[in-house]
Amino acid sequence: MSWLLGFYRSTVGKKVIMGVTGVIGIGFVVLHMLGNLQIFLGPEKMNGYARLLHGPAAELLWVLRAVLIAAVVLHVVCAAQLTARSRASRPVAYQRRVPQVSTWGARTIRIGGVLLLLFIPLHIMHFTTKTWRPAGTFAEGDIYSLVVSSFRIWWVALFYILTMVFMGLHLYHGAWSSPRSLGAKKLSGRPFKRTIATGLAIFVWLGFTIVPLAIWAGALRNRGAAAPAAASATAPASDSN
Protein backbone atom coordinates (compact mmCIF):
# COMPACT_ATOMS: atom_id res chain seq x y z
CA MET A 1 0.00 0.00 0.00
CA SER A 2 2.84 2.40 0.82
CA TRP A 3 4.42 1.63 -2.57
CA LEU A 4 1.13 2.35 -4.32
CA LEU A 5 0.74 5.63 -2.44
CA GLY A 6 4.30 6.60 -3.28
CA PHE A 7 3.69 5.76 -6.93
CA TYR A 8 0.58 7.95 -6.97
CA ARG A 9 2.40 10.86 -5.37
CA SER A 10 5.29 10.74 -7.82
CA THR A 11 5.28 12.76 -11.04
CA VAL A 12 5.93 9.63 -13.10
CA GLY A 13 3.07 7.84 -11.37
CA LYS A 14 0.65 10.67 -12.10
CA LYS A 15 1.66 10.67 -15.77
CA VAL A 16 1.12 6.91 -15.95
CA ILE A 17 -2.31 7.30 -14.35
CA MET A 18 -3.19 10.00 -16.87
CA GLY A 19 -2.06 7.67 -19.66
CA VAL A 20 -4.19 4.75 -18.43
CA THR A 21 -7.27 6.87 -17.74
CA GLY A 22 -6.80 8.56 -21.11
CA VAL A 23 -6.89 5.19 -22.89
CA ILE A 24 -10.05 4.28 -20.95
CA GLY A 25 -11.63 7.56 -22.00
CA ILE A 26 -10.71 7.05 -25.64
CA GLY A 27 -12.22 3.56 -25.64
CA PHE A 28 -15.47 4.81 -24.13
CA VAL A 29 -15.73 7.72 -26.57
CA VAL A 30 -15.25 5.47 -29.60
CA LEU A 31 -17.88 2.96 -28.40
CA HIS A 32 -20.25 5.79 -27.50
CA MET A 33 -19.88 7.33 -30.96
CA LEU A 34 -20.51 4.00 -32.72
CA GLY A 35 -23.67 3.53 -30.67
CA ASN A 36 -24.90 7.03 -31.50
CA LEU A 37 -24.43 6.46 -35.23
CA GLN A 38 -27.23 3.89 -35.12
CA ILE A 39 -29.58 6.85 -35.33
CA PHE A 40 -28.99 6.74 -39.11
CA LEU A 41 -30.59 3.28 -39.15
CA GLY A 42 -33.92 4.70 -38.05
CA PRO A 43 -36.08 5.08 -34.91
CA GLU A 44 -36.61 1.36 -34.33
CA LYS A 45 -32.91 0.57 -34.39
CA MET A 46 -31.94 3.53 -32.22
CA ASN A 47 -34.67 2.98 -29.66
CA GLY A 48 -33.91 -0.76 -29.61
CA TYR A 49 -30.28 0.02 -28.89
CA ALA A 50 -31.33 2.26 -25.98
CA ARG A 51 -33.57 -0.50 -24.58
CA LEU A 52 -30.70 -2.98 -24.81
CA LEU A 53 -28.44 -0.70 -22.77
CA HIS A 54 -31.02 -0.44 -20.01
CA GLY A 55 -32.29 -3.98 -20.24
CA PRO A 56 -29.99 -7.02 -20.58
CA ALA A 57 -26.85 -4.85 -20.56
CA ALA A 58 -27.89 -2.58 -17.68
CA GLU A 59 -25.66 -4.16 -15.00
CA LEU A 60 -22.61 -4.18 -17.27
CA LEU A 61 -23.33 -0.58 -18.21
CA TRP A 62 -23.26 0.51 -14.58
CA VAL A 63 -19.91 -1.22 -14.07
CA LEU A 64 -18.53 0.59 -17.12
CA ARG A 65 -19.93 3.87 -15.85
CA ALA A 66 -18.26 3.38 -12.47
CA VAL A 67 -14.92 2.68 -14.16
CA LEU A 68 -15.36 5.70 -16.41
CA ILE A 69 -16.27 8.04 -13.53
CA ALA A 70 -13.23 6.86 -11.55
CA ALA A 71 -11.04 7.36 -14.63
CA VAL A 72 -12.36 10.88 -15.22
CA VAL A 73 -11.84 11.88 -11.57
CA LEU A 74 -8.28 10.50 -11.51
CA HIS A 75 -7.51 12.10 -14.87
CA VAL A 76 -8.68 15.54 -13.74
CA VAL A 77 -7.01 15.36 -10.32
CA CYS A 78 -3.67 14.22 -11.73
CA ALA A 79 -3.81 16.85 -14.48
CA ALA A 80 -4.42 19.60 -11.91
CA GLN A 81 -1.62 18.34 -9.65
CA LEU A 82 0.88 18.06 -12.51
CA THR A 83 -0.01 21.59 -13.66
CA ALA A 84 0.50 22.90 -10.13
CA ARG A 85 3.87 21.16 -9.88
CA SER A 86 4.94 22.54 -13.23
CA ARG A 87 4.08 26.09 -12.21
CA ALA A 88 5.71 25.70 -8.81
CA SER A 89 8.94 24.56 -10.45
CA ARG A 90 9.16 27.94 -12.18
CA PRO A 91 7.51 30.62 -10.03
CA VAL A 92 8.73 33.39 -12.34
CA ALA A 93 6.98 33.14 -15.71
CA TYR A 94 8.71 33.53 -19.05
CA GLN A 95 8.49 37.06 -20.47
CA ARG A 96 7.83 35.59 -23.89
CA ARG A 97 6.96 32.06 -24.89
CA VAL A 98 7.36 30.80 -28.46
CA PRO A 99 5.91 27.27 -28.90
CA GLN A 100 8.19 25.10 -31.03
CA VAL A 101 6.94 21.51 -30.74
CA SER A 102 3.37 22.26 -29.74
CA THR A 103 0.01 21.60 -31.37
CA TRP A 104 -3.42 23.17 -31.01
CA GLY A 105 -4.42 20.05 -29.10
CA ALA A 106 -1.75 20.73 -26.48
CA ARG A 107 -2.40 24.48 -26.31
CA THR A 108 -6.15 24.06 -25.81
CA ILE A 109 -5.95 21.03 -23.53
CA ARG A 110 -7.03 22.94 -20.39
CA ILE A 111 -9.79 24.91 -22.12
CA GLY A 112 -11.10 21.73 -23.68
CA GLY A 113 -10.92 19.91 -20.36
CA VAL A 114 -12.98 22.58 -18.58
CA LEU A 115 -15.55 22.64 -21.40
CA LEU A 116 -15.87 18.84 -21.28
CA LEU A 117 -16.36 18.95 -17.50
CA LEU A 118 -19.26 21.33 -18.11
CA PHE A 119 -20.62 19.32 -21.03
CA ILE A 120 -20.60 15.86 -19.42
CA PRO A 121 -23.12 16.56 -16.60
CA LEU A 122 -25.37 18.53 -18.97
CA HIS A 123 -25.21 15.65 -21.45
CA ILE A 124 -26.18 13.15 -18.75
CA MET A 125 -29.01 15.39 -17.53
CA HIS A 126 -30.22 15.79 -21.11
CA PHE A 127 -30.19 12.23 -22.45
CA THR A 128 -29.95 9.96 -19.38
CA THR A 129 -31.78 11.43 -16.37
CA LYS A 130 -33.81 13.84 -18.57
CA THR A 131 -33.85 16.47 -15.85
CA TRP A 132 -32.77 19.07 -18.42
CA ARG A 133 -35.37 19.24 -21.21
CA PRO A 134 -34.70 21.96 -23.80
CA ALA A 135 -36.98 20.13 -26.26
CA GLY A 136 -39.73 19.24 -23.79
CA THR A 137 -40.80 15.74 -22.70
CA PHE A 138 -41.08 12.61 -24.82
CA ALA A 139 -42.78 9.24 -24.83
CA GLU A 140 -41.04 6.57 -22.81
CA GLY A 141 -38.11 4.99 -24.66
CA ASP A 142 -38.27 7.35 -27.64
CA ILE A 143 -34.61 8.42 -27.59
CA TYR A 144 -34.66 8.91 -31.37
CA SER A 145 -37.24 11.73 -31.21
CA LEU A 146 -35.48 13.22 -28.20
CA VAL A 147 -32.19 13.47 -30.11
CA VAL A 148 -33.76 14.81 -33.32
CA SER A 149 -35.93 17.41 -31.62
CA SER A 150 -33.11 18.51 -29.31
CA PHE A 151 -30.65 19.14 -32.14
CA ARG A 152 -33.26 21.10 -34.05
CA ILE A 153 -32.77 23.75 -31.37
CA TRP A 154 -29.91 25.81 -32.82
CA TRP A 155 -28.12 26.67 -29.56
CA VAL A 156 -28.24 23.08 -28.30
CA ALA A 157 -26.74 21.82 -31.56
CA LEU A 158 -24.18 24.65 -31.65
CA PHE A 159 -23.03 23.94 -28.08
CA TYR A 160 -22.72 20.23 -28.91
CA ILE A 161 -20.76 20.90 -32.13
CA LEU A 162 -18.43 23.39 -30.41
CA THR A 163 -17.75 20.91 -27.62
CA MET A 164 -16.96 18.19 -30.16
CA VAL A 165 -14.30 20.45 -31.72
CA PHE A 166 -12.50 20.75 -28.40
CA MET A 167 -13.04 17.07 -27.65
CA GLY A 168 -11.39 16.23 -30.97
CA LEU A 169 -8.39 18.40 -30.09
CA HIS A 170 -8.27 16.86 -26.60
CA LEU A 171 -8.46 13.37 -28.09
CA TYR A 172 -5.76 14.20 -30.64
CA HIS A 173 -3.32 15.21 -27.91
CA GLY A 174 -4.36 12.35 -25.62
CA ALA A 175 -4.09 9.66 -28.29
CA TRP A 176 -0.55 10.83 -29.01
CA SER A 177 0.64 11.40 -25.43
CA SER A 178 -0.97 8.45 -23.60
CA PRO A 179 1.22 5.72 -25.18
CA ARG A 180 4.29 7.81 -24.40
CA SER A 181 3.22 8.30 -20.78
CA LEU A 182 2.93 4.50 -20.52
CA GLY A 183 6.30 3.92 -22.18
CA ALA A 184 4.76 2.18 -25.19
CA LYS A 185 6.14 4.78 -27.60
CA LYS A 186 9.49 6.51 -27.68
CA LEU A 187 10.24 10.09 -28.58
CA SER A 188 10.27 10.62 -32.32
CA GLY A 189 12.56 12.74 -34.43
CA ARG A 190 9.42 13.88 -36.26
CA PRO A 191 7.22 15.15 -33.40
CA PHE A 192 4.51 16.53 -35.70
CA LYS A 193 3.97 13.24 -37.53
CA ARG A 194 0.99 11.86 -35.61
CA THR A 195 -0.90 9.82 -38.16
CA ILE A 196 -2.83 7.56 -35.78
CA ALA A 197 -3.74 10.36 -33.37
CA THR A 198 -4.87 12.59 -36.23
CA GLY A 199 -6.94 9.86 -37.89
CA LEU A 200 -8.59 8.82 -34.61
CA ALA A 201 -9.42 12.40 -33.62
CA ILE A 202 -10.96 13.21 -37.02
CA PHE A 203 -12.90 9.91 -37.05
CA VAL A 204 -14.41 10.50 -33.59
CA TRP A 205 -15.05 14.22 -34.13
CA LEU A 206 -16.83 13.53 -37.43
CA GLY A 207 -18.80 10.63 -35.96
CA PHE A 208 -20.27 12.84 -33.24
CA THR A 209 -20.67 16.03 -35.29
CA ILE A 210 -22.41 14.41 -38.25
CA VAL A 211 -25.53 13.71 -36.16
CA PRO A 212 -26.53 17.32 -35.36
CA LEU A 213 -25.41 18.42 -38.85
CA ALA A 214 -27.64 15.78 -40.46
CA ILE A 215 -30.56 16.90 -38.32
CA TRP A 216 -29.97 20.53 -39.28
CA ALA A 217 -29.87 19.52 -42.95
CA GLY A 218 -33.16 17.62 -42.61
CA ALA A 219 -31.62 14.20 -43.33
CA LEU A 220 -32.87 12.90 -39.97
CA ARG A 221 -36.47 13.51 -39.00
CA ASN A 222 -39.06 12.05 -36.64
CA ARG A 223 -40.16 9.22 -38.94
CA GLY A 224 -42.79 7.09 -37.28
CA ALA A 225 -41.38 7.58 -33.80
CA ALA A 226 -43.60 8.91 -31.06
CA ALA A 227 -43.87 12.68 -31.36
CA PRO A 228 -43.04 14.98 -28.46
CA ALA A 229 -45.94 16.18 -26.41
CA ALA A 230 -46.16 18.37 -23.37
CA ALA A 231 -48.52 15.89 -21.75
CA SER A 232 -46.29 12.87 -22.35
CA ALA A 233 -44.81 11.14 -19.37
CA THR A 234 -41.18 11.91 -18.85
CA ALA A 235 -39.08 8.98 -19.97
CA PRO A 236 -37.10 7.10 -17.36
CA ALA A 237 -33.36 6.71 -17.79
CA SER A 238 -33.04 5.05 -21.20
CA ASP A 239 -30.35 6.67 -23.30
CA SER A 240 -27.74 6.04 -25.90
CA ASN A 241 -26.02 9.44 -25.69
- Read off the pLDDT of residues 184-199 as tens digits, 9 standing for 90 and up: 666 555 555 678 888 9
Distance, CA of 138 to CA of 231 (rounded, Å): 9
Q: How far apart are CA 108 and CA 182, in angstroms?
A: 22
Query: Which amino acid is located at 117 in the chain?
Result: L
- Of 21-30, 92-101, 170-179, the range with the lowest mean pLDDT is 92-101
The total of structural domains in the chain comes to 1
In a domain, 221, yes or no: no
How far apart are the C-alpha atoms of 53 and 60, rounded to whole Å? 9
**Alpha-helical segments (H) within 194-241:** 195-216
Q: Is the dihedral of CA 169, 170, 173, 176 positive or negative?
A: negative
Domain contains 7: yes
Residue 234: per-residue pLDDT? 40
- pTM, 2 dp: 0.76
Q: Is the pLDDT of residue 175 over 90?
A: no
Q: What is the mean pLDDT of the chain?
A: 81
Burial status of residue 35 (CB atoms within 10 A of its CB: 0-12, 13-18, 19 or more): middle
Does 147 map to a domain? yes
Q: Within a domain: residue 192?
A: yes
* Per-residue model confidence (pLDDT) at position 236: 42
Domain-embedded: residue 186? yes
Q: Which domain holds residue 184?
A: 2-87+101-216
Q: Which of the four pLDDT bands, split at 50, 70 and 90, describes residue 145?
A: very high
The sign of the CA dihedral 49, 163, 29, 4 is negative
Amino acid at 24: I
Query: Is 181 a domain residue?
Result: yes
Confidence of residue 105 (pLDDT cuts 50, 70, 90): low
Q: For residue 204, what pLDDT band results from cuts at 50, 70 and 90?
A: very high
What pLDDT score does 194 carry?
74
